[in-house]
Structure 1
Amino acid sequence: MRLSNSGPWLRAALLALPVTVAQVAVTQLQSDLGAQPFASASAQKGEADQRETRRTPALRNQVYEKLSEAQTAAEEENFDAAARVLDGMLSAGGKNELNSYELANVYNLYAFIHYSREDYAKALEAYENVIRQPDIPLAMEINTKYTVAQLHFVQENWRRGVETLLEWFAVSDNPPANAYVLLAQGYYQLDDYPKALSNVEKAINMHKEKGKIPSEQWYNLARFLYFDKNDIPKAVATLEELLTHYPDKQYWVQLSHMYGEQKRDAKQLAAMETAYVQDLLDKGTEQVTMAYLYLNGEVPYKAGKVMDKGLKSDTIEGTSRNYEILGNAWRQAQEIDRAIPAMEQAAAKSEDGELYARLGNIYLDGDEYKKAIDAITKGLQRGGVKRPDTARLVLGMAYFNDEQYAKAREAFNAAGRDERSAQYAKQWINYMESELDRQKKLEEG
């Protein structure tokens, strides 16, 4: 018994990304901004300052004190008070009295206030005002440009975000892996999957080279992109790495399906079984899939156990089809006493006669000839039996074993009218005649 077509489900599962780009950008912004926007912006140092000589204006003491007052209020989440201080610094011509570096710090603190209020549009505008100021420290400009790119992503301005991020890459030394992931997610939103993949691959490799574990979200983005380009081997390898660091039911299930795509049946079964034995498969459809895999792997007893447990706990729906799977599993496992009640349920819930014909086969296996006769007769009367000729052959066998020889001959003759069963029907009639002749001679003694 092979698995039914799982393509649409598999594609939906593999293409589902667990987090949006905007969420990633917000999370990263929260980490980057911290709680000291003024101090971090006004004191940024680094290699960037050494690449370009700028004559940055000094931050005068009276301005520093006002900025510190506003920052203290902001840290206490008294944003209205912080904004009033900044408004006062810009009002009544005060803006013209501030040099570019002082003004950049004012806008930087405004941006932090707007961001804290989740007014991302105003925060973005304020950060762009920071960048517009001439002669600010290069490190401050570079870091603010990165924040602007992130806020474009938060606002779902994907193209502007990518463009700003590329500008940042052009002037940034040793960009971190997070930046490559952000760029990858931007390209993903613009449907430029090749560039998205190359950037997320770079981020993952950067972390691995440093002995760090890449983020689960990074692996998921790479997994999606590999699958979308039908690179099944790399999609599988990514899922295997995901499970090494982030064991989760969905990855075991997806990996099992991917092994199936590769015709690696043993691994497909092993992956799904790993999830099952950990009680991770809590959905009926997943448990039915587990049973199918056991049947495909010629382990029918375990298939029966899975179906039986699921049906009894109501996690597997008690449909005719599911009871049929249970009955087939027990029959293949030679558990006839268990197969019979399962197939009885399946037949009773079915709308046609096919399952009654199969039930008759199982009754015959269990030497319950009269029940076999009743079930097959009911199936043929109901209609919908896929191979009526085969059903009549089995009916003839049941009649023969029940010593109803005339009816057995009638059933065999009916089966023989179909050329597919003609030879078998003839053989059974000949066998029955020889047996009857043998019995007659024994009686005559």
Structure 2
Amino acid sequence: MSMIKTIKSLPMAVAAAAVLAALPMPEGTPIFGEQTAFAQRAESNKKQSTRKVQALTADFHKKLQKAQEAIDAKNYAEGMEILDDALARKANDYERAVAWQLKAQVFYEQDDVRGTISAYEKILQFADSIPEALEIGIIYNLGQLYYSEEDFDKALEYIQRWQNRVDPTLISVSNLQFIANLHYVRNEFEECLKYIYQAIEIGNSLETVEVKESWYSIALSSHWELGQYEKVRDVLEILLINWPKPRYWTQLAGIYQELGDEQTSYSLTEAAYKQGFLDDNETQLVNVAQIQLARSAPIKCAWILEKAFKENRVEKSPKNEKILGQCYMMAYEYEKALEPLSKAAAGDEDGDLWFQIGQVQMQLGHYKDALDSFASVIKAFEKDKSEKAKEKTLSATMQRGQAFTELKRFKEAREAFKTAKRMATDRRDKRMVTQWESYLKAEEAREEMLNG
């Protein structure tokens, strides 16, 4: 963004050419530019003191006219040269102020913020020779210009000078909004809230003023920074009612969660999902799926994720595949759970998950697949020397023996149980292996009898 656009974006920024436009001149003298908001405000400000303003001499006025004509024609160098020549001659303070006003205009039109600031500050050196209302207007404008340069300390210095001089009844909603912004960027959130709520209150009382979404947004951010979560909730509800954007649904759900009201948080999230507000937010889509688990509706969790996968709105990452598989598991849809769980386990080399998969496969009679799953468990923990790893490896080895037994691969079953017996260290595990070996022998005998 250019500097000129930055200046114009400020709530009360006005062209430099207008700052001294209303200064009195000799009879018949044309006024340069249009009157500013500050000048208009000064006319109605009966409390402002009246200063005796010096007059422009005819010769000096002619030079200013020639300079203005050059500036209007965009011949800035020529205009500046005329002004510099005028200032080099004998002139009263009022004339110098008007000349510097025109120099400020040139700087402004050339997008030179620093030059505009310098010219305005030069005018203030002649403050006693210009109307007080216009002096006050320049002070305010300097606050805005320093704001645009991100010199917030200097901006606040001028704004406070302005506040000390201006009639409080003449401070507008735009003024209040700008001052709130200034305090916000300085991390002075309490002060920001004071001014922005004044602006909102006045705006709501006037039909001619539109209260803007951005005013509530800065209040929202300030309350958040101060940890005032109940106030955050209140402002978000206003934003949601007046500007029902997707982000306000999710933010409001989040703050209710922060406040411990999970049911309201869940309801808001689901409402946002049903309206399609979460379609482009992967994190929120996964979140709304997990909410179904919290609400004891795991099959809905699975449906939401399956739909999101199909529409390419959620990445089929190991983490998300695992959530899908767990949703199906909790919904007792074991067959449907196996594929996503297997993808998740393979992606993360997750020994615990492979063990869970193997157990489900055993329950479903998928013994051959279970062999592969338990082999993956053993591989995942082979370099892990922890007690947990030893226990999982022993259990997986025994489960392989069971799968081999069910597949009537008795030789491999015996090898698996023999390995398990070597690994077993306590009496309980050894007894369990012995029991499975006994079952294996019985199965072998039964098979021989059936085969005659």
TM-score bracket for the superposition, by shorter chain length: 0.7 to 0.9
For the residue of structure 2 that corresponds to 1:282, the secondary structure is: coil
2:117 is equivalent to residue 124 of structure 1: yes
- Give the alignment's TM-score, normalised by structure 2: 0.71
Q: Unpaired runs of 5+ in structure 2?
A: 22-33, 444-452
| In structure 2, distance between residues paired with 1:218 and 1:401 | 72
Query: Structure 1's 401 and 333: CA in aligned 2 closer, same or farther, altered over 3 A?
Result: farther
Q: Which residue of 2 aligns with 1:167?
A: 161
The Cα shift of 1:341 comes to: 1.4
Point out the more displaced range, 58-67 or 318-327. Answer: 58-67
Point out the more displaced range, 108-117 or 339-348. Answer: 108-117
Q: Which residue of 2 aligns with 1:4?
A: none
Residue deviations 1:216-267, cap 9 Å, x none?
4333332222122211111122223233344444443333322221122233
The answer as to whether partners of 2:250 and 2:269 remain within 8 angstroms in 1 is yes
2:107 is equivalent to residue 114 of structure 1: yes
| In structure 1, distance between residues paired with 2:70 and 2:362 | 86
**Residue identity in the other structure for 2:203:** H
Query: Structure 1's 366 and 157: CA in aligned 2 closer, same or farther, altered over 3 A?
Result: same
The Cα shift of 1:76 comes to: 5.3
2:192 is equivalent to residue 196 of structure 1: yes
The answer as to whether partners of 1:249 and 1:281 remain within 8 angstroms in 2 is no
Q: Which residue of 2 aligns with 1:156?
A: 150
**Residue identity in the other structure for 2:113:** Y
- 1:9-20 equivalent positions in 2, closer than 5 A: none
Structure of greater Rg: 2
Q: Which residue of 2 aligns with 1:14?
A: none
Q: Which residue of 1 aligns with 2:330?
A: 332
Point out the more displaced range, 298-307 or 338-347. Answer: 298-307
Residue deviations 1:327-362, cap 9 Å, x none?
112333444443221112112222231111222344
Residue deviations 1:78-137, cap 9 Å, x none?
4334434433432433xx1x451x433332232232123222122111112223322422
Query: Structure 1's 379 and 76: CA in aligned 2 closer, same or farther, altered over 3 A?
Result: farther
The answer as to whether partners of 2:378 and 2:393 remain within 8 angstroms in 1 is no
Q: Which residue of 2 aligns with 1:205?
A: 201
Residue deviations 1:302-345, cap 9 Å, x none?
43234334444555333322210111123334444432211121
**Residue identity in the other structure for 1:177:** V
Q: Which residue of 1 aligns with 2:137?
A: 143
Point out the more displaced range, 323-332 or 385-394. Answer: 385-394
Q: Which residue of 1 aligns with 2:173?
A: 177
| In structure 1, distance between residues paired with 2:98 and 2:304 | 65
2:70 is equivalent to residue 48 of structure 1: no
**Residue identity in the other structure for 1:89:** A
The answer as to whether partners of 1:29 and 1:147 remain within 8 angstroms in 2 is no
Query: Structure 1's 346 and 58: CA in aligned 2 closer, same or farther, altered over 3 A?
Result: same
| In structure 2, distance between residues paired with 1:213 and 1:367 | 69
The answer as to whether partners of 2:173 and 2:199 remain within 8 angstroms in 1 is yes
| In structure 1, distance between residues paired with 2:271 and 2:293 | 16
**Residue identity in the other structure for 1:28:** L
The answer as to whether partners of 2:17 and 2:104 remain within 8 angstroms in 1 is no
Q: Which residue of 1 aligns with 2:211?
A: 214
| In structure 2, distance between residues paired with 1:182 and 1:374 | 67
Identity of aligned residues (%): 23
The Cα shift of 1:269 comes to: 2.8
Query: Structure 1's 76 and 378: CA in aligned 2 closer, same or farther, altered over 3 A?
Result: same
2:232 counterpart (209, 213, 235):
235
Q: Which residue of 2 aligns with 1:89?
A: 86
**Residue identity in the other structure for 2:288:** M
Query: Structure 1's 374 and 247: CA in aligned 2 closer, same or farther, altered over 3 A?
Result: same
Residue deviations 1:1-55, cap 9 Å, x none?
xxxxxxxxxxxxxxxxxx9xx9876511685338755432596442335531222
2:183 counterpart (187, 210, 226):
187
| In structure 2, distance between residues paired with 1:192 and 1:135 | 36
- Give the alignment's TM-score, normalised by structure 1: 0.72
Q: Which residue of 2 aligns with 1:16?
A: none
| In structure 1, distance between residues paired with 2:100 and 2:46 | 21
The answer as to whether partners of 1:25 and 1:182 remain within 8 angstroms in 2 is no
- 1:4-403 equivalent positions in 2, closer than 5 A: 27-28=9-10, 31-33=13-15, 36=18, 38=21, 39-40=34-35, 44=40, 45-48=42-45, 50-58=47-55, 67=64, 70-71=67-68, 73-74=70-71, 77-93=74-90, 96=91, 98=92, 100=94, 102-133=95-126, 134-173=128-167, 174=169, 175-210=171-206, 212-276=209-273, 277-312=275-310, 314-363=312-361, 366=364, 368=366, 371-372=369-370, 374-376=372-374, 378-380=376-378, 382-383=380-381, 388=392
Point out the more displaced range, 222-231 or 280-289. Answer: 280-289
Q: Which has the higher contact order (CA 8 A, sep 6+)?
A: 1
The answer as to whether partners of 1:287 and 1:310 remain within 8 angstroms in 2 is yes
Query: Structure 1's 60 and 185: CA in aligned 2 closer, same or farther, altered over 3 A?
Result: same
| In structure 2, distance between residues paired with 1:138 and 1:390 | 91
The Cα shift of 1:289 comes to: 2.9
The Cα shift of 1:71 comes to: 4.5
The Cα shift of 1:150 comes to: 1.0
Give the root-mean-square deviation of aligned CA atoms.
4.4
The answer as to whether partners of 2:322 and 2:340 remain within 8 angstroms in 1 is yes
| In structure 1, distance between residues paired with 2:405 and 2:218 | 64
Aligned residues: 402
Q: Which residue of 2 aligns with 1:13?
A: none
